[in-house]
Amino acid sequence: MTATATDIEQAAGVLRDGGLVALPTETVYGLAANAEDPAAVARIFQVKGRPPSHPLIVHIADAQQLDDWVAEVPAAARLLAERFWPGPLTLVLRRGDRVPLEATGGLETVAVRVPDHPVARALLSAFGGGVTAPSANRFGSVSPTTADHVRAELGNAVDLILDGGSCLVGVESTIVDVTGEMPSILRPGGVTREGLEAVLGHPVAVPSTSGVRVPGQHPSHYAPRARVVLVEPEKVVAEAEAAGEAGHQVGVLLPSSLADLEVKAHAVVALPGAPDAYAHGLYGFLRELDRQGCDLIVASLPAEEGLGLAIANRLRRAAGPRGSV
Ligand code: TXA
Ligand code: MG
């Protein structure tokens, strides 16, 4: 049930008292604390099981507040904020004095975004300040895109969960570093590279396929319990059936181009062909295959354009080496 005005007032009170609120955004659910309260911020790391060196994103109510949180706003940042906020874009800028080092993992830069979800916006307005909010999952696992996912992951560890339905975008925000000479993408997400390039008027660098090397990002992030194996689309069916014969409980993310094929597997998700529907469903599909008891998930990468870039990034990380985080 969607959060009411009373729930939002109560949540603002929880934040003022140094508590933690799970809140819906258009990307994924976040675990929010008052960004200016180092003790509350510290509790986020504790609840998530996240190493304290991993920087958080500060969420603010509107673009006009950006100057209050950062030391400087370069022209490119202003341009991107005007075009994409509120929305699934996070800008990394030089840290303002208001941002405690606890929130930035000790960095002199800070990540900021204005979420586009009525419940998140209402809470930020009612609260008045900024909130640090990582995705509301345990460190390394799949981000929650419904309030039920949050309950399953964090349960009583949070003071209040605001329900805002299922997140429209379904993958996290695009993180763009605007502290250097040229803006660069640190994490692909809900705003496409093509969209950024159209606004900036020049190509934007993206992380290499070998994995992003920025603080707080590791190969095995966004991972379900089941092991994820990536193969060429035309090999998905053969790989799944071979693994099944070898005794695995196999889950398949079946590309829409193969929708007509019969696959013998423990569980099959027929992927939507439209990239926005695929991104919207991605984390739910991985959770569902876990829930059905799969120990191995066979998938392939979509074309790395538009939202496909973010989807492929998450699948690669889900398939990345475990135990290294
Ligand atoms: O869509 C989203 O961005 C969601 C929703 C809740 O807003 N939040 C989210 O937060 O994905 P989190 O903590 O799961 O991921 C934030 C990532 C960190 O892993 C880190 O890599 C990057 O943001 N980050 C934060 N501050 C940074 C900084 N100063 N420099 C470089 N990267 C930074
Ligand atoms: Mg996360």
| CATH number for the segment(s) 227-318 | 3.40.50.11030
pLDDT (0 to 100) of residue 132: 98
Please name the residue that has the structure tokens 């040229």: 182
Examine the pLDDT at 47 and tell me if it is beyond 70: yes
Q: Where are the beta strands (DSSP E) in the chain?
A: 21-23, 30-34, 57-59, 89-94, 109-113, 131-132, 160-161, 174-177, 184-187, 227-230, 250-254, 267-270, 296-299
Position with higher pLDDT, 220 vs 166: 166
Most distant pair of Cα atoms in the chain: their distance:
59
| C-beta of residue 271 within 8 angstroms of C-beta of residue 239 | no
Both tokens of residue 203?
């190509």
Q: How many CB atoms lie within 10 A of CB 321?
A: 10
Ligand 1 atom having least distance to the Cα of 107:
29
pLDDT (0 to 100) of residue 325: 37
Q: Whole-angstrom Cα distance, residue 36 to residue 98?
A: 7
pLDDT digits (tens, 9 = 90+) for 111-128: 999 999 999 999 999 999
pLDDT digits (tens, 9 = 90+) for 1-25: 799 999 999 999 999 999 999 999 9
Instruction: Tell me which ligand sits closest to the C-alpha of residue 35.
Output: 1
pLDDT (0 to 100) of residue 321: 82
Instruction: Pick 5-200's CATH classification: 3.30.465.10, 3.90.870.10, 3.40.50.300, 3.40.190.10.
Output: 3.90.870.10
pLDDT (0 to 100) of residue 64: 96
Residue 165: what are its φ and ψ, rounded to 5°? 75, -165
* Cβ(27) – ligand 1 distance below 6 Å: yes
Exposed (0-12), middle (13-18) or buried (19+): which is 47, by Cβ within 10 Å?
A: buried
pLDDT (0 to 100) of residue 249: 98
Q: Is the model's pTM score more than 0.80?
A: yes
**266: Cβ contacts below 8 Å, ≥ 6 apart:** 244, 248, 249, 250, 251, 292, 293, 294
pLDDT (0 to 100) of residue 212: 45
CA of 295 to the centre of ligand 1 (A): 29
pLDDT digits (tens, 9 = 90+) for 153-179: 999 999 999 999 999 999 999 999 999
Residue range 28-45: mean pLDDT, rounded: 98
Dihedral angle of Cα 220, 227, 173, 9, to the nearest 10 degrees: -100
* Cβ(120) – ligand 1 distance below 6 Å: no
CA of 239 to the centre of ligand 1 (A): 34
* Cβ(173) – ligand 1 distance below 6 Å: yes
* Cβ(91) – ligand 1 distance below 6 Å: no
Q: Whole-angstrom Cα distance, residue 86 to residue 164?
A: 16
Please name the residue that has the structure tokens 């429209």: 168
CA of 27 to the centre of ligand 2 (A): 11
CA of 137 to the centre of ligand 2 (A): 7
pLDDT (0 to 100) of residue 222: 82
* Cβ(57) – ligand 1 distance below 6 Å: yes
Residue range 62-69: mean pLDDT, rounded: 97
Task: Give the domain ranges of the chain.
Answer: 5-200, 227-318
pLDDT digits (tens, 9 = 90+) for 228-280: 999 999 999 999 999 999 999 999 999 999 988 889 999 999 999 999 999 99
CA of 7 to the centre of ligand 2 (A): 25
